[in-house]
Amino acid sequence: MNRRKFKLRILQPSMFFLIGFMMGIVTIWPGLISESGRNCFFKIVKDGSDGNVSLGTIFSISPNYLLRISNEKNKYNKVLLIGDFCFRKAQ
């Protein structure tokens, strides 16, 4: 009986955390659940993964986001900016 209570004490807060985290992500990036937003994100990441980006991909991103992405030094922040463009703006 003691093990069961211990498992419930760990399970309940972790479920609340995961549900809250997922709701927060969907609230920040509402296009995450749409297929067009995910396709945009994966297309940009796949095209730029080898270091060469095609001209069509560059023209698909707005100039404001393109400047932000190119000025960013941290790769993690670059991915966040690409996600921000695809999941918020390109709908």
**Per-residue pLDDT at 91 exceeds 70:** no
DSSP 88: I
**Per-residue pLDDT at 11 exceeds 90:** no
The DSSP H or E segment spanning 15 is helix 2-28
How large is the C-alpha radius of gyration of the chain? 18
What is the C-alpha separation between 29 and 31, in angstroms, rounded?
Answer: 5
Q: What is the pLDDT of residue 21?
A: 92
**Per-residue pLDDT at 89 exceeds 70:** no
What is the C-alpha separation between 69 and 10, in angstroms, rounded?
Answer: 40
Neighbouring C-alpha atoms within 13 Å toward the C-beta of 81 = 18
Domain coordinates in residue numbering, the chain: 1-30, 34-91
pLDDT in tens, 23-34: 988 888 888 888
Quickly tell me which residue has 């985290």 as its tokens.
21
